[in-house]
Amino acid sequence: MRGRRLRDISKRVVITGVGPVTSVGIGKEPYWESLVKGRSGSKRINFHGFDMDQYNTKIAAPIEHFNLSDYVIETKRSKHLGRTSRFAIAGTMLALKDADLRVELNEERSKEGQYYLGELDSFKVGVILGIGVENMDLMEMYHEKFIEHRGPKRLSPFGLPHIYMSSIASNVADRFGLRGSTYTVSSACASGTHAIINAYRQIQGGAEDIVATGGVDACITPYVFGGFVALRAMSTRNDDPMGASRPFDAQRDGFVMAEGSGILILERLEHALARNASIYAELIGYGMTADAYHITEPDPQGRSLIRAIKLALKSAGLSPREINYINPHGTSTLLNDAVETLAIKKAMGKWAYHIPISSTKSITGHTMGAAGGVETVATALTIQREMIHPTINYEFPDPECDLDYVPNEPRRVAVKTAMSISAGFGGVNSVIIMRQFEGI
């Protein structure tokens, strides 16, 4: 492999822990097993108090039987948390433990359920999360109360602080006593990948040794779901929920909305080696662009996505031939899948036809702002386990989508270098490249 290797070990960044919270599994082993076996998380849903006949789409990929108390101590403060914050905290706890970081209860703040990370310098551990929308379950609930009672008299003083998008990263930082850079990134469905890129750059710049990063979202609420119904962006294959998400298939008719989080522990390589941490993969490059074309539709020529892919290759010091796997955005929408395929072909040239490509969303559904995190976890596990999960529900080839999408069955491949692509409303594109860790 001729990819550029940084001489300065302090500039190298690795993934040492993962914490997926998804409809198909919580924690890396249940999640990975579902990916490899192609188990869909899609099902029919019902909004309490709403007439579902109003919704043309009646399917989603919700996380059922989720309890925050399974992951951290619940306190009186926990009742004010929104669902997005709960997923973020659970995913972070899973990722911290997976990274073999010592998570202990803070005796001084045990009543508040705060933890701390052993002997680590808390000012050198940050939280950078990608989020599509704020805690929408709280937003909708408190707005309903405001309208019902014609004013603020029945509103909780804890409501507004927990609705803010920034509160989600702050909730994580507070729960684990992390005092490094803490903020959220919001760029629609590219949010998770943008957050990872920010964390990567933050560590390279020396601000942190460790950053808990990735994406989190809980959008399956009456208003947000209804908004996407109005946009006609989601599948209406209501009688076949598990077959509804079918990226790159000729009969795709929209995405399946999902929820969850994909949290990763990014760490300065020197710091990871000093504590003898296990390493999933090393981040080596990224690219970011904007279409500047339309608020929802991608540029049909894919020009900015092509550039983002090329920028990622350039920053990693790689040629297209050195990419062994691509985890695409792969939403199962008519436009996205065709444009993304075109962009991959334009950016990678003839080599595009030799690269296995598989869409995690075919299995998990579209986790919105969490997608970049959820899919980076999948990509890191692909490198570690030398197995590519399938794109399920691929039945009818589309002439516009003519690449190798690893249809329906997993494939054992020694993946040395992989690319993950994310794109979002407003034409925001983000691409990261990671490789198998090969020592210093």
**Runs of H (alpha helix) within 149-189:** 159-163, 166-176
Give the active site residue among 162, 366, 389, 401. Answer: 366
CA angle 337, 338, 344 (to 5 degrees): 85
Given a contact cutoff of 8 angstroms between Cβ atoms, the answer to whether 313 and 431 are in contact is no
Give the active site residue among 189, 194, 271, 401. Answer: 189
Given a contact cutoff of 8 angstroms between Cβ atoms, the answer to whether 275 and 398 are in contact is no
DSSP β-ladder status, 210-217 and 125-131: parallel
Given a contact cutoff of 8 angstroms between Cβ atoms, the answer to whether 359 and 406 are in contact is no
Give the active site residue among 194, 271, 329, 389. Answer: 329
Q: Which two tokens stand for residue 52?
A: 């579902």
224: nearest Cα among 159, 139, 153: 139
Give the other-Cβ count within 10 Å of 62's Cβ: 18
d(CA 128, CA 264): 10
Given a contact cutoff of 8 angstroms between Cβ atoms, the answer to whether 209 and 267 are in contact is yes
User: 344-381 burial by CB neighbour count: b if 16+ within 10 A, else e?
Assistant: bbbbbeeebeebbbbbbbbbbbbbbbbbbbbbbbbbbb
Is-catalytic flag, 354? Answer: no
**Runs of H (alpha helix) within 302-370:** 303-316, 334-348, 361-364
Given a contact cutoff of 8 angstroms between Cβ atoms, the answer to whether 315 and 283 are in contact is no
Is-catalytic flag, 189? Answer: yes
268: nearest Cα among 12, 55, 93: 12
Which residues does residue 44 pair with via DSSP β-bridges, in sequence order? 59
Give the other-Cβ count within 10 Å of 408's Cβ: 13
**Catalytic amino acids?**
189, 329, 366
